[in-house]
Amino acid sequence: MTENPINESASTPEDRPAIRIALEALARMRAAKARASSRDIFVYRGKIREGTKRLPPQAQTIVNAIEAAGIQGISRQELLEVLRGTLYTSLPENRVLAYYQKTLIDRGYIELIKADLTPTDLGN
């Protein structure tokens, strides 16, 4: 007799083998994406588009930290370490960076060079 992969009699979704395998795969994918995003590189471009408003102080701090890193840029992890001592907020640095990231890219201040996922990131 073959085992039913769904196993309807299981008490919680995590007890069902097919769902447990899917949840584990999802956890591996999320971890891989987090590892890849930590290798993303922020590069200062210095282009200020016409008609842009002045930056909020937190956004300007982010731009200054990326500019100070030079032409090679700075990884997300390194940038968060730099911001840890310079942002005056009760929010986590990662949250502040995520909030301003699109605005800074759209206005031409910075460029984000994304790291690609590799098979080793996925655990294959």
Task: Provide the residue ranges of all domains of the chain, joining segments of one domain with +.
Answer: 39-113
Amino acid 8: pLDDT: 54
At the topology level of CATH, where does 39-113 sit? Arc Repressor Mutant, subunit A (1.10.10)
Amino acid 67: pLDDT: 93
Better-predicted residue by pLDDT, 20 or 83: 83
Q: Which helix (H) or strand (E) holds 122?
A: none
Predicted structure pTM score: 0.63
Amino acid 49: pLDDT: 60
Better-predicted residue by pLDDT, 33 or 122: 33
- Banded pLDDT at 50 (limits 50, 70, 90): low
Residue 109 and residue 12: Cα distance in Å, rounded?
49
Is the pLDDT at 121 greater than 50, yes or no? no
Q: Which helix (H) or strand (E) holds 43?
A: strand 41-44
